[in-house]
């Protein structure tokens, strides 16, 4: 595939071996070689993209309608390519330059590019260990776009708010005082965006609530984790989008298994029982997950 110029298909094919990379035998060695080949193709493609962006941005701006938007999109994509090439400092520089240039603009499409640049810039700061700068950018994104009627902007605001919580969650490994700070931020995200009109934004809210459950669980607070799961079920269990209901059932199964691993068989059984409401779900994949939960419950019950 690579020799035929089908780079994306080749990368996908190489990626199919990833589940074997941790093995110590010959199969693991082959899988690691495949991963290296796939990464080399990715880098080759990214470098070609980057050269195209650089060539375009080197041209003087024109007065043609849409030229400014096209240059903004090109700059954002250039930053994405730089980040993927492990050149985050250059990506940050590209984003900061664009932010300073278009932040005063009111054009809706430019505002979308601004939101993307600000969020990605925060990601770059986070990747380079500049937590305070990342927090600053994430806060600015939510403050500026959190109440927007444009779901594209609100999505970026929700994502930035989630990433802000993730920084606190990362820091809790160093300072346990960040535990409640992370939980508070994730609860804020869940409460603010759970009823958003876009399923993508509601999915972020669900992720935030799940993060609360995981923090509680890792802290040894199983009751708190279960309480967070119940809120997930109450808030998102009747979501009109099957993929979100699927995530709810997946969360039920995951937390039940974690509870069982911690010796709380009764809690695990009770948690799995809550998946019964999804047995006749109109989404086949959700119903299948609910059936899996029931099978797990029966299996755990027999081994009690």
> Distance between CA 237 and CA 242 in Å, rounded?
10
Residue 91 binned pLDDT confidence (cut-offs 50, 70, 90): very high
Long-range contacts of 74-81 (CB under 8 A, 24+ apart): 75/113, 75/117, 76/113, 76/116, 76/117, 76/120, 77/49, 77/53, 78/50, 78/53, 78/54, 79/117, 79/120, 79/121, 79/124, 80/120, 81/46, 81/49, 81/50, 81/53
Q: Is the pLDDT reported for residue 172 higher than 70?
A: no
**DSSP calls for 223-237:** HHHHHHHHHHHHHHT
What pLDDT sits at residue 175? 58
pTM: 0.88
Predicted confidence (pLDDT) per residue in 186-203, tens digit:
999 999 999 999 999 999
Q: Is the pLDDT reported for residue 65 higher than 60?
A: yes
What are the structure tokens assigned to 234, written together? 């109450």
CB neighbours (10 Å) of residue 3?
A: 6
Q: Is 13 helix (H, G, I), strand (E, B) or coil?
A: helix
Percent helix / strand / coil, the chain, rounded to 5: 80, 0, 20
């Amino acid at each position: 595939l690579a020799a035929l110029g089908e780079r994306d298909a080749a990368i996908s094919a190489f990626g199919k071996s990833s589940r074997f990379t941790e093995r110590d035998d010959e199969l693991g060695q082959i899988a690691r070689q495949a991963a290296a080949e796939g990464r080399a193709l990715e880098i080759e493609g990214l470098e070609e993209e980057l050269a195209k962006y650089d060539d375009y941005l080197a041209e003087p701006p024109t007065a043609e309608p849409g030229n400014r938007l096209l240059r903004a999109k090109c700059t954002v994509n250039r930053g994405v390519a730089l980040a993927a090439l492990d050149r985050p400092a250059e990506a940050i520089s590209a984003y900061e330059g664009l932010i300073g240039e278009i932040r005063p603009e009111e054009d809706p499409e430019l505002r979308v590019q601004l939101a993307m640049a600000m969020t990605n810039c925060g990601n770059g700061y986070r990747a380079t260990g500049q937590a305070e700068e990342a927090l600053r950018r994430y806060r600015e994104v939510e403050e500026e776009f959190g109440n927007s009627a444009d779901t594209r902007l609100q999505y970026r605001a929700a994502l930035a708010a989630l990433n802000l919580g993730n920084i606190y969650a990362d820091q809790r490994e160093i300072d346990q005082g960040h535990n409640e700070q992370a939980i508070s931020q994730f609860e804020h995200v869940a409460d603010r965006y759970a009823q958003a009109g876009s399923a993508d934004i509601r999915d972020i809210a669900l992720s935030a609530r799940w993060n609360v459950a995981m923090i509680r669980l890792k802290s040894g607070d199983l009751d708190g984790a279960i309480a967070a799961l119940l809120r997930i079920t109450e808030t998102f269990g009747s979501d009109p989008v099957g993929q979100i209901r699927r995530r709810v059932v997946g969360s039920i199964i995951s937390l039940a298994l974690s509870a069982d691993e911690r010796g709380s068989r009764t809690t695990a059984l009770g948690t799995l029982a809550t998946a019964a409401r999804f047995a006749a779900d109109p989404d086949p994949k959700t119903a299948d997950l609910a059936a899996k939960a029931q099978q797990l419950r029966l299996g755990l019950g027999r081994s009690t």
